[in-house]
């Protein structure tokens, strides 16, 4: 598959509703309205979708790895059933105190995806709902970053603005982010 156009998506707060108690099983997984259709539109437009997600609930002992993998299989199936395709899912199981290189805002997961698929990161878009997502996209060299206002997006925008790290675009949700990705300003003659 051609990965010249790749969108990296955070999971919780972008594709599905986030929870301060973590998403620990499929019963707690609830798609944000319009997210499945948005992923399907990206797929139909020739974009590869790779999910990049921090999942410290693993190393916190809150969820077995097998349960996370089961949720991700079901996520991929729901996306397929809606006409989309997730190329891969990269996750960081580490707690913040473990000092790994893969936990966002560090770029390790995006770099691993680049290496696995031969992606030119300058042509990619990172979409997330937190400052960590935007900072990881920037640190990895993603061409554009988009902050969605679902999940933690509103607080993240304040934090990013205060630190001079504003994303390239702010969208209400994944649906609006995809509209901007597929038809960016200045793209029409």
Q: Which residues have a catalytic role annotated?
A: 10, 12
- Written as one string, the DSSP assignment of 77-95 is HHHHHTT----EEEEE---
Q: CA-CA distance, 154 to 131, in Å (whole number)?
A: 10
Contact 146, 181 (CB under 8 A): yes
Q: Mention every residue, 6+ apart, whose C-beta is less than 8 A from residue 113.
A: 6, 8, 50, 52, 88, 90, 119
Contact 138, 146 (CB under 8 A): no
Residues recorded for the chain: 189
> Which residues make beta-bridge pairs with 145?
126
């Amino acid at each position: 598959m051609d990965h010249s156009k790749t969108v990296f998506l955070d999971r919780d707060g972008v594709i599905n509703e986030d929870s301060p108690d973590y998403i620990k099983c499929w019963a707690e997984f609830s798609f944000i309205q319009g997210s499945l259709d948005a992923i399907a539109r990206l797929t139909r437009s020739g974009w590869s979708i790779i999910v990049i997600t921090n999942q410290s609930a693993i190393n916190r002992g809150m969820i077995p790895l097998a349960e996370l993998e089961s949720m991700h299989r079901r996520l991929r199936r729901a996306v397929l059933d809606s006409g989309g395709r997730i190329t891969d899912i990269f996750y960081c199981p580490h707690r913040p105190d473990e000092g790994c290189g893969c936990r966002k805002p560090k770029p390790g997961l995006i770099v691993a995806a680049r290496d696995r698929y031969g992606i030119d990161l300058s042509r990619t878009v990172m979409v997330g709902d937190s400052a960590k997502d935007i900072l990881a996209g920037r640190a990895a060299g993603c061409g554009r970053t988009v902050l969605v206002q679902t999940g933690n997006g509103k607080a993240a925008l304040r934090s990013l603005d205060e630190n001079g790290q504003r994303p390239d675009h702010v969208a209400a949700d994944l649906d609006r982010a995809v509209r901007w990705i597929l038809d960016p300003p200045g793209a029409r003659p």
